Amino acid sequence: MLYDDILADAVAKHLRLKAAWMERELRRLSPETIIFIDEPYMSSFGSAYISLERDQATALITEVLAGIKGLKGVHCCGNTDWSLLLAMPIDILHIDAYDYAESLALYPDEVQAFLARGGLIGWASSRPVTASGKRRPPPWSTASTRPWAC
């Protein structure tokens, strides 16, 4: 669908309307809302598996976000071009910090600009358990230096 401009636009507009409906229903319970877009496909952005242009990805996600009046967030549970998501009109970027915090650290200027405009970063962290019941060590635990303490 993403490679057909008409279908891609229709899907984005449909998701915008669904987000607006969801928020309207939630506002009946609370005037403060947070709506997240779960965007697992962003982990393929920029790879050989997807030939989506940056401008098209930005336009489609921005279209969906435009239907949300309260706080807006995007969750991406894989590695991606974080500069694209950090430049989006979102309030919260939610990431899988356990596996991908190091990749976000590669974008210090973009992170700083996002935080300076009031953006928040949600750090999800869960250590997967192996078949033997042991917790898998974090990917950065064997690095000689760590840019942050977890």
- Residue 101 burial (C-beta neighbours within 10 Å; 0-12, 13-18, 19+): buried
**Which range (25-29, 32-36, 51-55) has the least confidence?**
51-55
29: pLDDT strictly greater than 70:
yes
Task: For residues 148 and 101, give the distance between their C-alpha atoms in angstroms, rounded to a whole number.
Answer: 9
- pLDDT tens digit sequence for 99-131: 788 889 999 999 999 999 999 999 887 666 666
Q: What is the pLDDT averaged over residues 33-61?
A: 79
Report the predicted TM-score, pTM, of the whole model to 2 decimal places. Answer: 0.78
